[in-house]
């Protein structure tokens, strides 16, 4: 896991694909806005093809695959060209497979018990999800005391108004969010607006 690179990303846009072509164009707008990483979830159609095509178009982009829920998902996104994978939750089966896989993996946690299980398996970076519902920055501050070795990518409820508060936390590497890639903006192919929102997130 390239911690320094992940921290430099600030925001990890969470993308649910519509189609491959639109996804590549969407990522192009994000890159123009200064984004250095994206997360393409497995929830949308053609997600694996989109991961491959985006990685081919933007080889220097940190390509994350999201909504990885099974060992099979993990293998599929690795073959598609993802640089890392994130899960919405974590089972013993998925954690064991990820611990043995060469692809960097960020398991999702919602409790300190889940965090301890991940730490025992050697994971150091975790997705806090749903972050805002779990207490947001206050939750992260509480976890920093007993678990100083853990770093987080809070996701869920993170938006343009509160993401800076997350980034101020010492144990946060970057935030996952979708406010610059809303369904309305993407469906309308409003690439200029998306580029502007990306630039604001990277510079403000």
Q: Which member of 36, 53, 55, 127 is catalytic?
A: 127
Q: Is 69 a catalytic residue?
A: no
Average pLDDT over residues 54-76: 98
- The verdict on whether 127 is a catalytic residue reads yes
pLDDT digits (tens, 9 = 90+) for 74-132: 999 999 999 999 999 999 999 999 999 999 999 999 999 999 999 999 999 999 999 99
Its CATH class, for the domain covering 3-203, is: alpha beta
Q: In this model, does residue 18 exceed pLDDT 90?
A: no
Question: The pTM is what?
Answer: 0.95
pLDDT at residue number 1: 74
Report cis status (omega within 30 of 0) of the bond before 130. yes
Please tell me the predicted confidence (pLDDT) of residue 113: 97
| Straight-line distance from the first to the last Cα atom of the chain, in angstroms, rounded to the nearest whole number | 26
Question: According to the model, what pLDDT value does residue 82 have?
Answer: 98
- Return the domain boundaries, the chain: 3-203
What's the number of CA atoms in the CB half-sphere (13 Å) around residue 57?
18
pLDDT tens-digit readout, 134-169:
999 999 999 999 999 999 999 999 999 999 999 999
Q: What is the mean pLDDT of residues 1-30?
A: 93
* Active-site residue identified among 39, 53, 55, 195: 39
- Asked if residue 162 lies in contact with residue 133, where contact means CB atoms within 8 angstroms, the answer is no
Mean pLDDT of all residues in 165-178: 97
**65 phi, psi to nearest 5 deg:** -110, 130
């Amino acid at each position: 896991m390239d911690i320094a690179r992940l921290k430099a990303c600030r925001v990890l846009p969470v993308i649910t694909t519509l189609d491959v072509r639109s996804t590549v164009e969407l990522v192009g707008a994000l890159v123009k806005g200064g984004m250095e990483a994206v997360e393409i979830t497995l929830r949308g159609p053609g997600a694996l093809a989109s991961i491959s095509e985006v990685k081919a178009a933007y080889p220097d982009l940190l390509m994350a695959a999201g909504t990885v829920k099974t060992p099979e998902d993990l293998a599929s996104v690795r073959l598609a060209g993802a640089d890392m994978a994130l899960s919405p939750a974590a089972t013993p089966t998925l954690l064991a497979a990820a611990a043995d896989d060469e692809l960097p993996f960020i398991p999702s946690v919602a409790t300190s018990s889940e965090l301890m299980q991940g730490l025992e398996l050697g994971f150091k970076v975790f997705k806090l999800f749903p972050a805002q519902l779990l207490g947001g920055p206050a939750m992260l501050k509480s976890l920093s005391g007993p678990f100083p070795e853990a770093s987080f990518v809070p996701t869920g409820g993170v938006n343009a108004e509160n993401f800076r508060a997350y980034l101020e936390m010492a144990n946060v590497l970057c935030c996952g969010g979708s406010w610059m890639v809303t369904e309305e903006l993407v469906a309308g192919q409003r690439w200029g607006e998306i580029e502007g929102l990306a630039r604001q997130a990277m510079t403000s």
